């Protein structure tokens, strides 16, 4: 037995639809600018040569239910509605045609973002960590096993703020598909079970206020309601 100075933190876990088991999380990767209209609203253009990524710590995960804390040290805390998937195996240099076989299941999620920090980071060429790696910012629904997921390549994705539709798109509008992302990421990382990927947000991102109710979902995968407090 390793003689730890103190008890290590338990892994972050995601419930699984229809199961008593939970999914232990290893890493969280997030895709940037994966819908053309969202890249445009951020004042950027999609890089069709290669996708780009940032990461969130597994400790930022929070279930998409009940109340979620408004992050400290921001005046511009944004929702980003996203398709999420989770791996049950991995490897390096995974071929696109094999990519889907490595996926355990899918969920709906929010990539909550300190937009003021991110804007300043872009201006000053500083890293995005404090804009993206924010406690309770990786919001996620329970994982639906792939056998019950209709598609990761098509389907409506949407988000409402206090009942007003803010984001609406189809997964087919993603610039980089799920297989393409797995193939590309696996050239830089040895992907493995426990790795979770947020696939980027459609246009319509915006700021939340304390008391806001966010509802969202991806057709056939998950729906959720959360309150920002």
Interface residues toward Mn ion, by CB under 5 A: 80, 111, 201
| Least distance to Mn ion, CB of residue 138, Å | 10
Closer to Mn ion by Cβ: residue 16 or 202: 202
| SS3 category, 141 | coil
Nearest-approach distance from CB 103 to Mn ion, in angstroms: 19
Q: Give the nearest distance from C-beta 205 to Mn ion in angstroms.
A: 8
Helix (H, G, I), strand (E, B) or coil at 104: strand
The DSSP result for 145-182, as a single string, is EGGG---SSS-EEEEEETTEEEEEEEGGGBSS-HHHHH
The β-bridge partners of 156 are 170
Residue with Cβ nearer Mn ion (17 or 203): 203
- Pick the closer one to Mn ion by CB: 16 or 30: 30
Q: Report residue 50 as tokens.
A: 């290669």
Q: How far is the CB of 178 from Mn ion (least distance, A)?
A: 15
The DSSP call for residue 72 is S
- Closest to Mn ion by CB, 111 vs 133, is 111
Token pair for 139:
């919001």
- Which residue sits closest to Mn ion, CB atoms considered? 111
Contact 30, 54 (CB under 8 A): yes
């Amino acid at each position: 037995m390793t003689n730890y100075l103190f008890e290590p933190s338990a892994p972050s876990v995601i419930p699984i639809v229809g199961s008593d088991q939970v999914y232990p999380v290893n890493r969280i990767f997030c895709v940037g600018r994966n819908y053309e209209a969202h890249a445009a609203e951020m004042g950027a253009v999609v890089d069709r040569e290669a996708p780009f990524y940032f990461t969130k710590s597994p400790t930022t995960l929070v279930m998409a239910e009940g109340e979620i804390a408004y992050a400290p040290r921001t005046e511009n805390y944004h929702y980003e509605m996203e398709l999420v998937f989770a791996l049950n195996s991995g490897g390096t240099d995974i071929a696109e045609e094999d990519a889907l076989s490595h996926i355990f299941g899918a969920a709906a999620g929010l990539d909550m973002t300190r937009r003021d920090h991110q804007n300043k980071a872009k201006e000053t060429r500083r890293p995005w960590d404090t804009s993206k790696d924010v406690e309770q910012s990786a919001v996620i629904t329970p994982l639906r096993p792939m056998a019950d997921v209709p598609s990761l390549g098509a389907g409506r994705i949407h988000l409402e703020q206090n009942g007003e539709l803010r984001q609406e798109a189809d997964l087919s509008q993603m610039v980089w598909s799920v297989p393409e992302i797995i193939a590309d990421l696996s050239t830089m990382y040895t992907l493995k079970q426990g790795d979770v990927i947020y696939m980027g947000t459609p246009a319509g991102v915006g700021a939340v206020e304390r008391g806001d109710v966010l509802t969202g979902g991806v057709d056939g995968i998950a729906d959720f309601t959360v309150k920002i407090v």
